[in-house]
Amino acid sequence: MVQDHVALAEIELCGDLIIAASAADGDRLSFARIDEVLKVAAERSALQAAARRQS
């Protein structure tokens, strides 16, 4: 069986967004909430830490 790890990760992220949207009080998720669900800050911090180690 062939697995596309990128596609699986994207499906998981979409699922996380759908769950967050269904639990939201308003009509939309804020940009901050979307970033939180997608773990944007954590990823950015990890990339910055890796860049510092390489310097």
Determine the average pLDDT of the residues in 28-48: 90
User: How does pLDDT run across 5-31, given as a tens digit for each residue?
Assistant: 999 999 999 999 999 999 999 899 999
Residue 37 · residue 16 · CB < 8 Å: yes
Q: Distance (Å, rounded) from C-alpha 43 to C-alpha 4?
A: 21
Spell 22-52 as b/e; 16+ CB within 10 A means b: eeeeeeebeeeeeeebeeeeeeeeeeeeeee
* The predicted structure's pLDDT at residue 14: 96
Whole-angstrom CA distances from 35 to 2, 13, 55 are: 30, 11, 27
Q: What is the percentage of the chain residues whose pLDDT exceeds 90?
A: 58
User: Does residue 39 register a pLDDT over 80?
Assistant: yes
pTM recorded for the entire structure:
0.70
Q: What is the total count of domains within the chain?
A: 1
Mean pLDDT computed over every residue of the chain: 90
Note down the domain range covering 36: 5-54
